[in-house]
Amino acid sequence: MLRCNFAPLDEWIRRHACLAAEEHFELEDLLQLLRICRSSAIEIDGWDEDVFSAVDDVINEGLRAIREKVSWDIPDQLNYLKEAQGDLGMHPELIEPDPIASAAIRKGERRETGRNRLALPIRVRCNMQKKQSDEITLTQNVSLSGFYFRTQKNYPLGSQLKVIYPYWTGPGSINREYPARVARLDPLPDRSWGVAVEFLRNLRDKSA
């Protein structure tokens, strides 16, 4: 719980927010990622939600502090949680599935974890019949158990992958590679593929 020393969190927020802006991410992408991390910490790791009142303040203050360093329009009274509620209330279409992600929805399919539309950079590596494939692309949506992305490459169903998620290229970036597999392939109208990827290791396990 950071032992009430929020200086490392403040530094992390400022540094990675600036990095996200340099990588041409939208502010809402970053805010949604922060909300996903918050929800996961409470629901999965058992964090006390009351503790987050202080953490939320640090996040908001850190984002407001970088306004002059980024191209984003960050309001004076930014609240990354209330902004989410307000956006969904003003623009109901944002909660509708996009055309590519909808190809992944099967009748009667059950999902163990929620899926969020979020474009994060990833690096996907695969050894396919003595030929190695390596591509850098973006996710279409993500969940705690995997993600979905679009590609022109032909990944075999069930093939083993090594995935860097998310994949940052800025100075000082720390990237982690995870084992994964191709869980489903969806042919798309433009002859590309929608690939559902399942992680083979719990992302919360930092021991490996």
Contacts of 126 (CB under 8 A, 6+ apart): 132, 133, 134, 155, 159, 160, 161, 162
Q: Is the pLDDT of residue 208 over 70?
A: no
Q: Residue 70, Cα to own-chain centre: how many angstroms?
A: 20
How much is the pLDDT for 101?
42
| Residue type for position 166 | P
Q: Please, where in the chain does CATH 2.40.10.220 lie?
A: 99-199
Strands 121-128 and 146-151, by their bridges, are: unpaired
| Distance (Å, whole) CA 85 – CA 88 | 5
Share of the chain above pLDDT 70, in %: 73
| Number of other CB atoms surrounding residue 34 within 10 Å | 20
Helix, strand counts (H, E) of the chain:
5, 6
CA–CA separation, 202 and 148 (whole Å): 17
Q: What is the pLDDT of residues 40-66, one digit of tens each?
A: 777 666 777 776 777 888 888 999 999
* Span 94-121, average pLDDT: 51
pLDDT of 115: 62
Lowest mean pLDDT among 9-13, 65-69, 144-148: 9-13
Q: How far, in Å, CA of 136 to CA of 52, rounded?
A: 34
**Average pLDDT of the residues of the chain:** 76
pTM (global) more than 0.75: no
Structure tokens at 131: 């030929």
* pLDDT above 70 (res 11): yes
Give the model's pLDDT for residue 161.
Answer: 95
Question: For the chain, what percent of residues have pLDDT higher than 90?
Answer: 26
Residue 119 pLDDT > 90 = no
Kindly report the CATH class assigned to 99-199. mainly beta
Which residues are CB-neighbours of 177 under 8 A, at least 6 positions away? 162, 163, 164
What gap in Å lies between CA 36 and CA 136, rounded to an integer?
A: 23
**Which phi and psi (to 5°) does residue 181 adopt?**
-145, 155
Span 66-72, mean pLDDT? 90
Structure tokens at 116: 């969020």
